[in-house]
Amino acid sequence: MAGAPATLPPGSVIGILGGGQLGRMIAAAAARLGYRCHVYCPEEDAPAAEVAAFATCADYRDEAALAGFANSVDVVTLEFENVPAATVERLAETVPVRPDARALAIAQDRVEEKCFLNAVGVSTARFAAVASAADLRRAMDDIGAPAILKTARLGYDGKGQREVRPGADPEAAWRQLGAGRAILEERVDFQCEVSVVIARAHDGATAAFDTVENEHENGILRTSRVPARIAPAVDEEARSVAARIAEALDYVGVLAVELFVTRDGALLANEIAPRVHNSGHWTLDACAASQFEQAVRAACALPLADPARHSDAVMTNILDAELGDWPEITAEPGACLHLYGKADARPGRKMGHVTRLTPRGSETA
Ligand code: AMP
């Protein structure tokens, strides 16, 4: 790195690529520290744009709009991981982008991601890259069944993946997936899923929030609970894996690492997210400074905040029609409600979340 970047003073403008709830919560955290945000995304009525000082609604490949955006901000961060890496490279010619295009490119491709993880000594489920039905047949012989076939790119919340059962026809499975490139992964018989949300600053300092235990339903995160119900040694290892990944990427920003805890207590990394993460939402209410504030601090070259937790927490996502439960939640003691301002509730759409706090130590009692 060429010298330490200058700290951006309050009043500076943070560009955010992506306009969803993550950007909305980054913008709120930025406002608390006196920064202004400029949200760039292709969608109109973006949840983040509603709370940002400036917004550009344009395609991620719109050169003129990108140039205008780059000239109007002091730093760029991202809240959406499928922003084309080329867009980030283009912006980085004019303005610092934190995290950088390399981390983004790795996280965007499940094959590259798993190869990278293995190369830096992080274990994953066994996997094979697949680009044809013939590849899939070989991969099925190699990995066995049941296994999970996932598109290499553009999958999220369980989309773009299907289970491959014993005896499945590779031709049909490949056709149904309808992808050019994919990955076949061994299906992990896990005890639980955990994640570590870690911030890394420009000077290499890191601050990890406590390890979170996650439950998914239909591939979508349902609840995150902290502390995770795992052995201290597993917790220690999860944090060290996250720190190793952040270090290997020379990462600046907030990074989430999702891991499976196997029945015998081993950790297998599932994926990394080069951004704030749904499993870190509890930090808004259970920590003095949230993951969103850490993202702002890292982007603006401020020191990272203490990630200590003052409460135990269970975060539950509010999906589609559950939005109607808001009156009861607002009346519930200890429940912290966050709504994203989204108007139409499509199936599985994240409309908000609620974090229920209890005194620290009560969850493990
Ligand atoms: P992903 O899109 O890779 O995050 O997958 C979404 C969810 O599907 C994960 O959080 C797991 O609950 C489940 N899943 C994905 N990959 C595997 C795997 N290889 N073995 C077992 N469960 C998986």
Same domain, 194 and 173: no
Domain boundary among 81, 108, 135: 108
Range of the domain at 214: 190-359
* Helix or strand run (H / E) with residue 113: helix 110-119
**Does ligand 1 come within 6 angstroms of the Cβ of 219?**
yes
DSSP-based three-state secondary structure for 240: helix
Instruction: Choose one of 148, 153, 164 to mutate for the ligand 1 pocket test, by most ligand atoms within 8 angstroms of C-beta.
Output: 148
- Measured in Å, residue 113 CA sits from the centre of ligand 1 at 14
**Residue 274 sits in a domain of what CATH number?**
3.30.470.20
Same domain, 34 and 176: no
**Does ligand 1 come within 6 angstroms of the Cβ of 81?**
no
Same domain, 139 and 224: no
Same domain, 198 and 294: yes
Give residue-wise pLDDT tens across range 182-222. 999 999 999 999 999 999 999 999 999 999 999 999 889 99
Same domain, 272 and 203: yes
Same domain, 42 and 94: yes
- Residue 343 is predicted with a pLDDT of 86
Instruction: Choose one of 114, 164, 270 to mutate for the ligand 1 pocket test, by most ligand atoms within 8 angstroms of C-beta.
Output: 270
**Does ligand 1 come within 6 angstroms of the Cβ of 162?**
no
**Residue 179 sits in a domain of what CATH number?**
3.30.1490.20
- The verdict on residue 182 lying in a domain is yes
Same domain, 164 and 68: no
Give residue-wise pLDDT tens across range 267-306. 999 999 999 999 999 999 999 999 999 999 999 999 999 9
Same domain, 305 and 212: yes
Closest CA to 253 of 4, 26, 25: 26
Same domain, 197 and 240: yes
- Measured in Å, residue 210 CA sits from the centre of ligand 1 at 21
Number of domains in the chain: 3
342-347 LR contacts (CB < 8 Å, sep 24+): 342/21, 342/47, 343/45, 345/320, 345/321, 346/320, 347/320
% of the chain exceeding 70 in pLDDT: 97
